A and B are shown apart, each in its own frame.
Chain A
Amino acid sequence: MSKKYTDEYEVGYNPRLVMEEAARCLLCHDAPCSLSCPAGTDPAKFIRSVRFRNFKGAAETVRVNNILGAICARVCPTERYCQQGCSRSGIDKPIDIGRIQRFVTDFEDATKMKVLEAKPSVGKKVAVVGSGPSGLSVAANLALSGVEVTIFEKEARAGGYLRNGIPEYRLPNEIVDKEIARIKKLGVKIETSHPVESLDSLKKEFDAVVVAVGMSKGKMLPMFDGKRNVKIAVDFLKMVKRKKGEVKLPDNILVVGGGDVAMDVVTTLKLLGVKQVTDVVYETFEEFKASKKELQGAQEQGVTIIDGYVPVSVKGKTVKFAHRNIQSELKIKADMIILAVGQYTEAAMLGLEVNKKQEVVEDNYKVKDNVFVVGDIAHGEKTVVYGVRSGKEVAALVKKSLGVK
């Protein structure tokens, strides 16, 4: 095991430090942080509970509002959501809400709290296709109301991108396992190694079907297609995570792309000991897509990041780039090239209409009678916390259509 890769990069708080951070919170009236959490996790309330030393109450708030509380605590780009409006920024810097949430959910785990309890069965059955964040969220929220939910997952283990994509140093699989175990305790059945090829039989067997297949496939750029030593970012991250970082890599790797996936790839490479990691990004720093925190993490690891360039040709191991706005060319020779240039969905294989943005054509998550989509393939932002949110929203819609209270 590569310890640098498997150990959580950010150190958690101890009770003293979490109090120190909670004491910085201004305990706002009508708090901006809570107003801007997509999942409605209500940070103002759980931070106030911490401040008044009610750690268990804090854990209840997180868990009731966010079924993936321990995961969001680690992976959420908080600077874009809750921390963005933090009033404390007017004094110095925002409260580290993610880390407080991590303390709270770790406390929940350490004290073996059981916050949620599912209602008895109401005799309705729902199938969920895919066990990523939005699939888990919709399943758990339905199960809480007494709906019998079965998740169908094509991989051998549940979790989708949480398990296969986000690197171990940001989100250990142990945390994913624990969150899934909590959801299973609510009565959700997960059929793993069970790919779904058509929705027809599910529609017959279940009262409703929710498709949560995400955008699990990484895009290939035509000029790189069929070239040796070219890898797709999501496949690479999956392989590294499965092998717990035990992989052999060359010393000089080029990454193309500037989203969160690209940041995960470059940071992973550095943590695995790759000497030269060069990341060429289409966007300029002004337009950067990745979370600032992840960008900063990559820079701290010593990744060379070059912004504003598009690849124009490949010859052997050398890739030629041109700047988007100025007259400038760039040639980079590397032993391996990893493409992190976006993902696409396989939802069309299920007979669903997919648009240019790789979203399924839907109306408020509804595709047709009792078929819904959720998560990345539905409208909205493509983050875990949005998956939790759309899971909640779709659960409410499904319940309404099935007449479940």
Chain B
Amino acid sequence: MVKKDLSIKFLGVNFPNPFCLSSSPVGNDYDMCKKAYDVGWGGVVFKTIGPKSYVINEVSPRFDAVTKEAEPFVGFKNMEQIAEHSLEENLRDLARLKKEYPNQVLIASIMGNSEETWEDLARKVTEAGADMIEMNLSCPQMTSHAMGSDVGTNPELCKKYCQAVKRGSKLPMMAKMTPNITDMVPVAKACLEGGADGIAAINTIKSICNIDLDKKIGLPIVNGKSSISGYSGKAVKPVALRFIQQMRVAMPKLEISGIGGIETWEDAAEFILVGARTLQVTTAIMQYGYRIVEDMKNGLMHYMEEQHVNHLEELVGKANKNIIPAEELDRDYIVYPSIDDNKCVGCGRCYISCYDGAHQAMEWNEEKRRPTCNHDKCVGCHLCALVCPVGAISKGEIVLKKTAKPGRNIKDIRL
């Protein structure tokens, strides 16, 4: 049985493990958060608490999913806004959770609609006993344009609200970013200038998942209409990793809570490697339940063991320096595919994809039902390896291009 220390410090707070519920339907009240803690989540970001004056009135139904073949959730669409319960109920739940789970981290997510309400909410959740504050500057489906992602794309407004929160509370605070923006860095910087201690990224992506083809209405249908709203789940992971990488490059010491399509320990490890210190999850919980944390924790421990690492800390941001601008990549060589005829089942998919989607380098022996690669045509793109269903195609011979810089040695190339 593997046993590794998964604890990590984030914004000065010690997390027993990096896995947290993100602010969403999965952390809606005391009972839900209690169950999550009991199952082993390291922290909870309680569903965003809004100002007393802002009344939440949700639609029915409110979710949709993008599917592929038999995969029910490739991506997930959600129309819920922020906590529906009264401010008093939410504060009471926070206090009770902190009292009963002093060693697990309780993060209050808040969203004001003015400097006063931001400051007031920060004060109230601090009094209720939260360990940390997350500012929700990014929900894309609010019914008010003074709230959510409309705020999160405006660096000035973000800075002002961060300052307001800091006036209301001395707790460590992270600002949650919207991905509905070309460059997240200016907003993140503005938040840090306003007093934020770290960043949470990403919130959901504005989306339309599906259109009902008969009714000609987006899904889900609410009395004959639908709206654009936030997209999450596995499909958004690449977008999240990219934003986190870009922020880490601009601000190498930035502490980040990573969010976006985390479902397995491998996803978690990827977020850590691009610089996340804690991880937040919703969609996978909605689909599979809180229990998924068991395999995320255990899998991450095994990974740590394989990597000969005793503290998660050692893995944070380890991939940052290996992700560089495209113009700096080595363009001097080609690596040809190597085909294992014994593994090959003769489906010919590499042949089809190479012909129709690449450079017609794969040749097909009709009788033997086996491909061979013509190096005169092959550019080494490895589309063939990606479509092969049995992993029969790997990286083979490396050759230097005629245009390679003089003095290059193949032995120095790392694949």
Contacts and interface: CB of A to CB of B under 8 A. Distances in A.
Contact of A20 (B69, B348, B364): B69
A263 B348 CA distance: 38
Nearest to B390: A91
Nearest to B71: A23
Contacts of A26: 345, 347, 349, 389
Interface string A18-30: 0110110011111
Contact of B389 (A16, A29, A32, A91): A91
A30 B365 CA distance: 11
Interface string B60-98: 000000000110000000000000000000000000000
A222 interface: no
**Among B69, B346, B351, B369, which residue has the most Cβ atoms of chain A within 10 A?**
B69
Nearest to A29: B348
A51 interface: yes
A32 B349 CA distance: 13
Given A29-B351, A29-B352, A90-B390, A22 B345 contact: no
Contacts of A16: 70
Given A26-B389, A29-B351, A29-B352, A90 B345 contact: yes
A20 B69 CA distance: 6
B366 interface: yes
B345 A88 contact: yes
Contact of A19 (B69, B345, B366, B389): B69
A91 B349 CA distance: 15
A398 to B, nearest CB: 34
Nearest to A26: B347
Contact of B345 (A20, A27, A51, A87): A87
Given A26-B389, A29-B352, A29-B364, A90 B346 contact: yes
Contacts of B364: 29-30
**Among B345, B347, B349, B366, which residue has the most Cβ atoms of chain A within 10 A?**
B347
Interface string B301-335: 00000000000000000000000000000000000
* Majority SS at the chain A contact face: helix
B345 A91 contact: yes
Contacts of B351: 29
B347 A87 contact: yes
Interface string B347-367: 111011000000000001010
B349 A28 contact: yes
A94 to B, nearest CB: 11
Interface string A21-65: 011001111101000000000000000000100000000000000
* Majority SS at the chain B contact face: loop
A402 B69 CA distance: 48
A30 B345 CA distance: 13
Contacts of B390: 90-91
A28 B69 contact: no
A306 B369 CA distance: 40
A93 B391 CA distance: 17
Contacts of B346: 28, 32, 87, 90
A95 to B, nearest CB: 12
A255 B345 CA distance: 42
Nearest to A50: B69
B70 A19 contact: yes
**Among A20, A28, A88, A91, which residue has the most Cβ atoms of chain B within 10 A?**
A28
Contacts of A29: 347-349, 351-352, 364
Interface in A205-243: none
B70 A28 contact: no
Given A26-B389, A29-B352, A91-B390, A51 B69 contact: yes
Contact of B348 (A17, A28, A89, A91): A28
Contacts of A91: 345, 389-390
**Among B346, B352, B364, which residue has the most Cβ atoms of chain A within 10 A?**
B346
A23 B348 contact: no
B302 to A, nearest CB: 26
A89 B390 CA distance: 12
B191 to A, nearest CB: 43
A30 B349 contact: no
Contacts of A27: 347, 349
Interface in B32-72: 69-70
Contacts of B70: 16-17, 19-20, 23
A32 B368 CA distance: 12
A88 B351 CA distance: 17
11 contacts: A20-B69, A20-B70, A26-B389, A29-B347, A29-B349, A29-B352, A30-B348, A30-B366, A51-B69, A87-B347, A89-B345
Interface of A: 16-17, 19-20, 22-23, 26-30, 32, 51, 87-91
Given A29-B347, A30-B348, 18 more contacts: A17-B70, A19-B69, A19-B70, A22-B69, A23-B69, A26-B345, A27-B347, A27-B349, A29-B351, A29-B352, A30-B369, A32-B346, A87-B346, A87-B369, A90-B345, A90-B346, A91-B345, A91-B389
6 A-B pairs closest in CB distance:
A29-B348, A90-B345, A20-B70, A23-B69, A26-B347, A28-B347
